[in-house]
Amino acid sequence: MKLRTGISRFKETVPSSIRSKLAWTFGILCIYFALLHLGIFGIPRNSHLMHTDIPIDPIPLFRVITASNFRSIAEFGIIPIVLSIVIFQILIGSKLIKVDFTKKEDRKLYAIGTKVLAIILTIAFALVFSFSNFYGEDLSILSKLLILAQLLAAGLLIILMDELLQRGYGIGSGTSLFILASVCYNIFEGMFSLNQEAIGGFMWYQGSILAFFQGIARGDLQTPFYNPYKQYDFMGFLLLFVVAAIVIYLISIRVEIPAQSKKDDIPTRYPIRSMYTFYVPVILSSVLFAIIYFISNLVTVSFSAGFLGIFFPPTGPGRIVQQPALVIGYIIMMTIFCGIFSRIWTKTARMDSLSVAKQFLSKDLLIPGFREHPKTVQKYLNQYIPASAWLGGFFIGFLASIADFLGPLGTGTGVLVAICIIREYYDVIKQGL
């Protein structure tokens, strides 16, 4: 029985032109940058965390990939959104819940469930950050409530902006847009930051390019070129292009299935990427690792030195000398988790063989020599899609961990994901023109 409320249903008008979508995307991006750089009001400047002399970032090396900023009102960035998806992926993969993504009603319930869980996680994170002494031990109840209100407002606004983009107001999704913006900003800051740091009795610019020219003027190129004590060095700038070139080449590899149009019998090709689920498994794995790191910080500050250090991304070639077992463990864990998430994502994103077969036929495409039936096309696609999902997930996880090990500007994982997102935006804009 359906209850009638007497309220007419609101008809949503989604912009259809690419220009309107770009305007919405740019506006949402500006708001997000404002959230990233708006500090939390009510935190004393001299407040410290974890009984130390300096403030400790609870997720330092995950800031770029989670599109968040320490001590800003966007403290946890896209973590609640992605973590809600991770939790559902785990529940579906372990068969604790059953979702039939071929049914529209199940897809709606899944979307609603992830959004509700994202809101619950935002509230939980805001409570933990506000009342667990992360911002100081001498804060009054009023100050903590003020911090809670700011974190909640920013977190809910991020969820809303992500929802607007997913509904078609902009291009892509909020998570991909915010990660891309975060990586690009981090790279720009790594090249041109005017902040200074003392190394060897001299004040160097943190920006790698500015510091390199400083080195030329002083006759000291070794310090700005590679120095483990410098936040950004010129080696990281060069490795940025190396990692980008490798990723651009690898994402272009694809298998092209021979097909033909049912209307005019014109032969064509249907491409299947070698890295089938693209960058999604890397984001899901990275956010999961960030949560493990964050929870460990609630207990101890020696996270990277213990067994859980296998979930801690390497910070450059120097770490493999200091902690080779943990670096190898991180590579293995990233590879395994990306493979698992890739396989589950093919089902939740309707990228499995049967769903692709139905999309294939809906575009009036046929595979020469095969009957025009979803089950027949599915059997043919099973030769490619399951293997591409598993192997592509394993490979992109391995590639992300190796990229992190190299230590380019923007982090290896960040650069990999950013290149994939740029390619995705290019395809979307090209189709819209």
Contact 43, 133 (CB under 8 A): no
Specify whether 261 is located in the same domain as 351. yes
**Residue 240 falls inside a structural domain:** no
**Residue 304 falls inside a structural domain:** yes
Instruction: Give the residue numbers spanning the domain of 334.
Output: 247-433
Specify whether 376 is located in the same domain as 362. yes
Specify whether 183 is located in the same domain as 203. no
Give the residue with greater pLDDT, 5 vs 283: 283
Specify whether 179 is located in the same domain as 214. no
Contact 348, 99 (CB under 8 A): yes
79: pLDDT strictly greater than 60 = yes
210: pLDDT strictly greater than 70 = yes
Question: Where does the pLDDT of residue 10 fall: very low under 50, low under 70, confident under 90, or very high at 90 and above?
Answer: very low
For the domain that residue 97 is a member of, what is the CATH number?
1.10.3370.10
124-176 tens-digit pLDDT = 999 988 988 788 778 889 999 999 999 999 999 999 999 999 888 888 889 99
259-277: buried (b, 16+ CB within 10 Å) or exposed (e) per residue? bbeeeeeeeeebebebbbb
Specify whether 135 is located in the same domain as 147. yes
Contact 344, 89 (CB under 8 A): yes
**Residue 214 falls inside a structural domain:** yes
One-letter amino acid identity for 20? Answer: S
* Vertex 323 angle, CA 322 and 329, to 5°: 155
Specify whether 175 is located in the same domain as 221. no
Specify whether 215 is located in the same domain as 276. no
79-110: buried (b, 16+ CB within 10 Å) or exposed (e) per residue? bbbbbbbbbbbbebeeeeeebebeeeeeeeeb
Specify whether 186 is located in the same domain as 200. no
Specify whether 252 is located in the same domain as 353. yes
**Residue 149 falls inside a structural domain:** yes
Specify whether 318 is located in the same domain as 405. yes
Give the residue with greater pLDDT, 366 vs 241: 241
- Please report the pLDDT score of residue 4 as a whole number: 39
Query: How far is residue 60 CA from its own chain's centroid?
Result: 15
Q: How many domains does the chain have?
A: 3
Specify whether 280 is located in the same domain as 421. yes
Specify whether 213 is located in the same domain as 314. no
168-197 tens-digit pLDDT = 888 888 999 999 999 999 999 999 999 988
